[in-house]
Copies of this chain bind each other. A is one copy, B any other.
Amino acid sequence: MKILVTAFNPFGGEAKNAAEMVLQRLPDRIGDTAICKLSVPTEFEASVRIVEEAIRNEDPNAVLMLGQAAGRAQLTPERVAINVDDARIPDNAGVQLIDRPIFPDAPAAYFSTLPIRPMTAAIQAAGVPAAISNSAGTYVCNHLMYCILDFLREASWVKAGFLHVPITPEQATAENMPSLPIETIEKGVIAALEAIIAADNTDPAAREDAKTEAFVRSILEQHNV
């Protein structure tokens, strides 16, 4: 089994991003599962392109996208991504989008296909504060989550979702904001990954069958059969 974990790089003029810091610390394997790590730019367009390319190259069983949510006290698996970009600040490429649909004719939202309830319970059981979040915001985090779930909408053999993490104490020294050290965040992310692994009960043969079937279906669709 293989899980692709992604994290955004720093944005908004900050030097570090807690999500990227935790990404760099994650092990390369958890049990039998390979952890494939990918840092992505905090850019609407490039982040999606890079994660899609990695999914094509790596063919992972699951994709866990990480982002930093300053102000949150807990690790928060996101329940849903919505089809809108509405940004308070520009992304790292200078793009700022207001109340704009991501894809005009696509669904209003996609639910995470990761097991968010067991992930939340596992993070808490590891002694780390966690709760399900019902909004990933309307900035690049929501954008990436939405686009990847849209990209994978026919690929039932790849689960995907987003997890927001707090900032670290070093980022908050003179700010009255909740924070958790990178070691604590890492413990929570690993617990979440273990919950994803435990929930994956797909027989590898069935997984290959699903991929073949989807491939055939797409060929037929291309030829309007």
Contacts and interface: CB of A to CB of B under 8 A. Distances in A.
Contacts of A86: 132
Interface of A: 73-74, 79-80, 82-84, 86, 99, 107-111, 117, 123-125, 127-132, 134-135, 137-138, 169-170, 172-181, 183-184
B178 A181 contact: no
B183 A181 contact: yes
Contacts of A137: 134
A83 to B, nearest CB: 8
Chain A contact residues, majority secondary structure: loop
Given A108-B110, A129-B173, A179 B178 contact: yes
A108 B109 CA distance: 5
Given A108-B108, A129-B173, 15 more contacts: A73-B73, A73-B176, A74-B172, A80-B82, A80-B84, A82-B134, A107-B108, A107-B109, A124-B173, A124-B174, A127-B169, A131-B176, A134-B137, A135-B135, A178-B179
Contacts of A109: 80, 82, 107-109
A129 B172 contact: yes
A134 B124 CA distance: 26
A25 B214 CA distance: 57
B108 A169 contact: no
B184 A181 contact: yes
Contacts of A73: 73, 172, 176-179
